[in-house]
Chain A
Amino acid sequence: MKGIDLKVSIGALKLKNPVIAASGTFGFGREYSEFIDLNRLGGISVKGLTLAPRQGNKPPRIAETPAGILNSVGLQNPGVHAFLRDELPFLKQYNTAVIANIAGNTIEEYCEMAELLSASDIDAVELNVSCPNVKQGGVSFGNTAAGVSEIVGRVRPCCKKTMIVKLTPNVTDIKEIAAAAEASGADAISLINTLLGMAIDIHRRKPVLANNTGGLSGPAVKPVALRMVYEAANTVKIPVIGMGGITCGEDAVEFLLAGASAVMVGTANFTNPHACMDVLKGIENYLKMYNNHCIYDIIGKLVVNQ
């Protein structure tokens, strides 16, 4: 990293570099610590946490689709208390930002988790707003600008940490949603979460996933993700964290040029346990190739056609 400044700011949070492991694909870091030096990551967004432990959905929970995967894990996790007790001490041994990704069925649950986490050693909270709001007939909080405003506005006073709001791509107009998150007090936004999809086993005439539908991720979603990150970054002033199908440095550079201040790497970890490091090296190589000395020389530097 000699001579190249890779540091980025996500609100008050400073990351040593822009590469973050995406929530749900990296567990609590333990498994991947056998493959990569977690100290070299900009950050780790942990498996989505809920207030109470969750068993998750019935298997099969994964299906492969062209250049992508569908998953329906259903937020299996040990709960936020067990995370703080059993997992956070492990992560804190490393010099990397710990981002607690949280999900709930009610706004009260999000608030309670945000308060608990604010009193802990984590570096940021990432609000996953793709979950169904049980009090509103199961429609996801993140599906409407009003829903996003409400949840972000109400969690904000409970959250003393940098608050990142993770947006769902399953919406008509991402710009409106991004603006709602910013106006309601988000320090940053991250996108995209998975795209709702389906795969069918024609021989059994049944969906491949026990849950019938699932979230699409991997290279297949990259063009959609990039467009949404570009639109969101051009709408809000707060930092944007981009993700969706990133497998290498070049992919990440596309997101950075489109306006993302950092990137998250998800599905690629499954194919290549060194993916985050390869993405980081690829970004550095790109900067060297163009004689850029600072990551901000490329962030948002896309020149669009008039």
Chain B
Amino acid sequence: MPKVLKEKILRSEALARSIYRMTVESEYISQTARPGQFVNLKCSDGIEPVLRRPISICRVNREQKTFELVFQVRGRGTELLSRKKAGDSVDILGPLGNPFEISAHYKKIAVVGGGIGIFPLLFILDEYGKHREDNLKAFDLSAFIGFRDKDSIVLKDEFEKACDTCRISTEDGSAGCRGFVTGLLEEELSRKHYDIIYTCGPTAMMKKVAETAGLYKVPCQVSLEQRMGCGIGACLVCACKTKYGDGWEYSHVCKDGPVFWCDRVIFDEQVEDFG
């Protein structure tokens, strides 16, 4: 159940050009949040900006009762968030949305992300990592993460530590493989079987990942983004097109998602790409 919480920021640091990581102390979020869920943050104490900003939960530390958010400065809201410092408090509504389906039935796991979409994937790897400690051989975790160029690479070490295989692509080839991360995934799927694929990132990327997963008959979950109002399913602004019977309907990203099985999502009108 989501709550409105006033929590303390323990750390705030720049990870790369315009990318920040905020570590927040929160007993409630750290104990209850699941991978794929997000929080809705108030960016200031005043009435401006009016809306909260949705940010995915990147990681939790249940022992230390903390969680991490990683975000890119895009506009006024994220700019205000980036200026918050250790010791400041932050008004959080969360945890929100439906998590990724994490199951010990899945042994060979791939996460595929691009840009700011990579952050929630770390939480998935952490969850499987816990299973892996008990039963080391059974699990095989792979991450495929894409960036624009060398300078926009973030959390590389964290990803490498959290999985068995981590492959990176950059659009300009300045690091890792040149091209899109979907290319890496196609190459990998042509020679190796996966039980499940989780993806988050630009719409065009997720669409391609979903198609590729379909081709190889691998179940796949996507995490969608949409502009939000309430974040809890009351205002109906965060619509996304999903299959319904033989037709379609508008579901809502905050309440029905943000995570969907990819074969439910209709990507044709999957709106503006924020990237």
Which of A35, A76, A270 is close to B52, meaning CB atoms less than 8 Å apart? A270
The CA of A58 and the CA of B228, in the complex, are separated in Å by 14
> Which chain A residues in 61-95 approach chain B with CB under 8 Å?
61-64, 66-69, 71, 73, 76
Which of B47, B226, B232, B236 is close to A73, meaning CB atoms less than 8 Å apart? B236
Which of A31, A55, A60, A269 is close to B249, meaning CB atoms less than 8 Å apart? A55
Asked if A223 lies at the interface with its beta carbon under 8 angstroms from chain B, I say: no
Could you name 11 residue pairs across A and B whose Cβ atoms are closer than 8 Å?
A26-B234, A35-B4, A47-B236, A55-B249, A57-B239, A61-B227, A61-B236, A66-B48, A67-B47, A67-B48, A270-B51
The CA of A197 and the CA of B226, in the complex, are separated in Å by 21
B50 touches A25 (CB 8 A): no
- In the complex, how many residues of chain A place their beta carbon closer than 8 angstroms to a beta carbon of chain B? 37
Which of B50, B226, B239 is close to A76, meaning CB atoms less than 8 Å apart? B239
Asked if A271 lies at the interface with its beta carbon under 8 angstroms from chain B, I say: yes
- Beta-carbon nearest neighbor of A26 in chain B: B234
**Would you give the 0/1 interface string for B104-148, flagging 1 where the beta carbon is closer than 8 Å to chain A?**
000000000000000000000000000000000000000000000
Apart from A62-B228, A270-B231, what are 7 other A-B pairs with CB-CB below 8 Å?
A25-B235, A34-B232, A58-B269, A67-B50, A71-B235, A76-B250, A210-B271
B50 touches A59 (CB 8 A): no
The CA of A44 and the CA of B74, in the complex, are separated in Å by 36
**Would you give the 0/1 interface string for B187-227, flagging 1 where the beta carbon is closer than 8 Å to chain A?**
00000000000000000000000000000000000000011
Which of A27, A62, A273 is close to B93, meaning CB atoms less than 8 Å apart? A273
Asked if A56 lies at the interface with its beta carbon under 8 angstroms from chain B, I say: yes
Using known A-B contacts A56-B250, A59-B238, A73-B237, determine if residue A31 contacts B232 with beta carbons closer than 8 Å.
yes
Asked if B272 lies at the interface with its beta carbon under 8 angstroms from chain A, I say: yes
Chain A min CB distance to B253 (Å): 9
What residues on B are CB-neighbors of A273 within 8 Å? 4, 93, 230, 232
A62 touches B48 (CB 8 A): no
Asked if B173 lies at the interface with its beta carbon under 8 angstroms from chain A, I say: no
What residues on A are CB-neighbors of B179 within 8 Å? none
Asked if A219 lies at the interface with its beta carbon under 8 angstroms from chain B, I say: yes
Chain B min CB distance to A37 (Å): 15
A60 touches B226 (CB 8 A): yes
A59 touches B234 (CB 8 A): no
- Beta-carbon nearest neighbor of A269 in chain B: B230
The CA of A63 and the CA of B250, in the complex, are separated in Å by 18
What residues on A are CB-neighbors of B51 within 8 Å? 62, 64, 69, 270-271
What residues on A are CB-neighbors of B271 within 8 Å? 58-60, 210
B237 touches A62 (CB 8 A): yes
**10 closest A-B pairs by CB:** A27-B234, A62-B237, A61-B237, A31-B234, A59-B239, A270-B230, A31-B232, A60-B227, A270-B229, A76-B236
A59 touches B232 (CB 8 A): no
**Would you give the 0/1 interface string for B1-24, flagging 1 where the beta carbon is closer than 8 Å to chain A?**
111100000000000000000000
A274 touches B47 (CB 8 A): no
The CA of A103 and the CA of B256, in the complex, are separated in Å by 26
- Beta-carbon nearest neighbor of A57 in chain B: B239
The secondary structure that dominates the B interface is: loop
Chain A positions within 8 Å of B, measured between CB atoms, are 24-27, 31-32, 34-35, 47, 55-64, 66-69, 71, 73, 76, 210, 218-219, 247, 267, 269-274
- Beta-carbon nearest neighbor of A69 in chain B: B50
What residues on B are CB-neighbors of A69 within 8 Å? 50-51, 229
> Which chain B residues in 41-92 approach chain A with CB under 8 Å?
42, 47-52
B50 touches A68 (CB 8 A): yes
The CA of A24 and the CA of B230, in the complex, are separated in Å by 11
What residues on A are CB-neighbors of B49 within 8 Å? 64
Using known A-B contacts A55-B250, A59-B227, A273-B4, determine if residue A64 contacts B232 with beta carbons closer than 8 Å.
no
Chain B min CB distance to A140 (Å): 21
What residues on A are CB-neighbors of B229 within 8 Å? 62, 69, 71, 270
Chain A min CB distance to B41 (Å): 11
What residues on B are CB-neighbors of A64 within 8 Å? 49-51
- Beta-carbon nearest neighbor of B4 in chain A: A273
Asked if B185 lies at the interface with its beta carbon under 8 angstroms from chain A, I say: no
B227 touches A24 (CB 8 A): no
Asked if B99 lies at the interface with its beta carbon under 8 angstroms from chain A, I say: no
Residue of B228, B231, B272 with highest tally of chain A CB at under 10 A: B272
What residues on B are CB-neighbors of A26 within 8 Å? 234
**Would you give the 0/1 interface string for B233-266, flagging 1 where the beta carbon is closer than 8 Å to chain A?**
1111111100000000110000100000000000
The CA of A35 and the CA of B239, in the complex, are separated in Å by 23
What residues on B are CB-neighbors of A76 within 8 Å? 236, 239, 250
B234 touches A271 (CB 8 A): no
The CA of A165 and the CA of B93, in the complex, are separated in Å by 34
Which of B48, B235, B250 is close to A27, meaning CB atoms less than 8 Å apart? B235
Chain B min CB distance to A258 (Å): 20
B237 touches A267 (CB 8 A): no
